[in-house]
Amino acid sequence: MSIAKSRKQAQGDAVLPILENESYKYWAVAVMLLAILFAFAYRKARDVVSASSRPLAWTHVPLIAFAIVSLGPSAFAIMIYLGYKSGLIQPGPSGYRFSTFIRDLPFDFAVINWPFVALYVTCRLWPDFGAARSAMWLSVAVMSLPNVLLFALAPTMVANVFDAGQGIGIVEAMLTFPIIAMLWPGPVPDIFDAGIGAVISALTAPIPVLGLLGWLAGQWMGRTVSKAAMRS
């Protein structure tokens, strides 16, 4: 059974449609990389013409987090594989192998974690918007929590078992299933599978919703602290 097929059986209709199409997935990653380059170049150009520009190293935090959650699980899986190979770690009874999951899943995880790119672009383009710094930190923190599940997949990525793709698919489905569909009474309508429905699904998945809530909470906290400091 192929990786895509086994993953799709586990995911059913609950996963972002873009993850089921390799071409769309690669295009999505390419668009995110272009957005990152644009935001980086834009701010660099603005800094050149503004001698009084403040250091904006903190705006790179979402980008660093994005790289960690996208590539980290595969890097962790490689470490486990090397541990098995060297005898430092005892593999399970089914054995181990260097599977294509290690190569392919970073693209899936990058698409799942697209809100980190959106946050990076926002902070680079509008670093002075409200309490952007505190909002960024809180947003990154809450979006990182669900990604613990992706790191927990590392042993599965090197496990020599037939149905490893199904377990990975279940976790991906959990992280991409739109919250609005969870609240929908009765069966989930087909509108969430394509077109504008797919966009709604991407926007209302757990990670972007958590990121937005973290951003709003961080903005509120930062402004509250600023007002309190001005009064004192």
What region does 91 belong to: left with phi over 0, alpha with psi -120 to 50, or beta?
Answer: beta
Instruction: Measure the CA–CA gap between 178 and 182, rounded to whole angstroms.
Output: 7
Give residue-wise pLDDT tens across range 44-77.
766 544 444 567 889 999 999 999 999 999 999 9
Task: Give mean pLDDT in consecutive 10-residue pieces for the chain, a chain of 232 residues.
Answer: 46 56 85 93 63 73 97 96 92 87 94 96 91 95 96 92 82 86 63 64 90 96 83 70
Instruction: Measure the CA–CA gap between 206 and 181, rounded to whole angstroms.
Output: 11
Instruction: Measure the CA–CA gap between 63 and 36, rounded to whole angstroms.
Output: 8
Q: Token match 């670093």: residue?
A: 127
Contacts with 95 (C-beta within 8 Å, 6 or more apart), sequence order: 160
- Domain coordinates of the chain in residue numbers? 3-223
pTM of the model: 0.84
